[in-house]
């Protein structure tokens, strides 16, 4: 049972236009967005971040792989289920998403990004020059490196919302590893 209101009829009126957009995008309103809609500012921030990063230079697949790796690390069943499904929607195989969940990939560039993202999470961004250099060696430029960091930040926010408020998972569940 959620620790925060999920009834979209009792959230601030300013959240309603964004909830309509979210409902249109998903065909339903996922529970995470219902929870965040209690704050119009937080909902606007989250929805805008998803929209902007969805058009980013690292691509949707890598964004979803980063999301499942961070979700697994933070034990966020909600985001793990959601982003596994979204990753498969980008054309990823079940194997690719399962590997990303534990921070691995057969693709060296993807593996470097996952390693970096998890290191940022585990070490609370206390990374070194060598960590950034490894991303550059893998083929990422500054635009993509900053974008990876933005994905980390957005996923920390969504993981924390879902875990802290015990948001019910409304996607096919995936086992944490």
Quote the pLDDT of residue 106. 97
Residue 1 has pLDDT above 90, yes or no: no
Quote the pLDDT of residue 22. 98
Taking residue 41's Cβ as centre, other Cβ atoms within 10 Å add up to 11
Tell whether domain 60-164 is in CATH 3.40.367.20. no
Q: Read off the pTM.
A: 0.97
User: What value does the mean pLDDT take over residues 76-102?
Assistant: 97
CA angle, 27 as apex, 170 and 38 as ends, to 5°?
65
Domain ranges of the chain: 14-54, 60-164
Quote the pLDDT of residue 42. 98
User: What value does the mean pLDDT take over residues 33-61?
Assistant: 97
User: What value does the mean pLDDT take over residues 105-131?
Assistant: 98
Burial class (CB in 10 A: 0-12, 13-18, 19+), 51: exposed
The chain-wide mean pLDDT, for the chain, equals 98
């Amino acid at each position: 049972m959620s620790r925060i209101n999920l009834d979209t009829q009792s959230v601030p009126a300013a959240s309603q236009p964004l909830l309509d957009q979210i409902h249109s995008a998903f065909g339903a309103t996922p529970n995470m967005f219902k929870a965040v809609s209690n704050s119009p500012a937080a909902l606007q921030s989250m929805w805008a971040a998803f929209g902007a990063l969805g058009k980013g230079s690292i691509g949707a697949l890598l964004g979803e792989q980063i999301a499942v790796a961070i979700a697994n690390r933070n034990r966020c069943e909600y985001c793990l289920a959601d982003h596994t499904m979204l990753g498969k929607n980008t054309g990823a195989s079940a194997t690719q998403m399962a590997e990303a969940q534990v921070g691995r990939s057969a693709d060296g560039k993807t593996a470097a990004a996952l390693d970096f993202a998890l290191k940022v999470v585990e070490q609370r961004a206390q990374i070194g020059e060598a960590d950034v250099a490894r991303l550059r060696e893998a083929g990422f430029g500054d635009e993509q490196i900053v974008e990876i960091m933005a994905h980390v930040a957005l996923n920390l926010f969504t993981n924390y919302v879902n875990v802290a408020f015990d948001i019910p998972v409304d996607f096919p569940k995936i086992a944490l590893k």
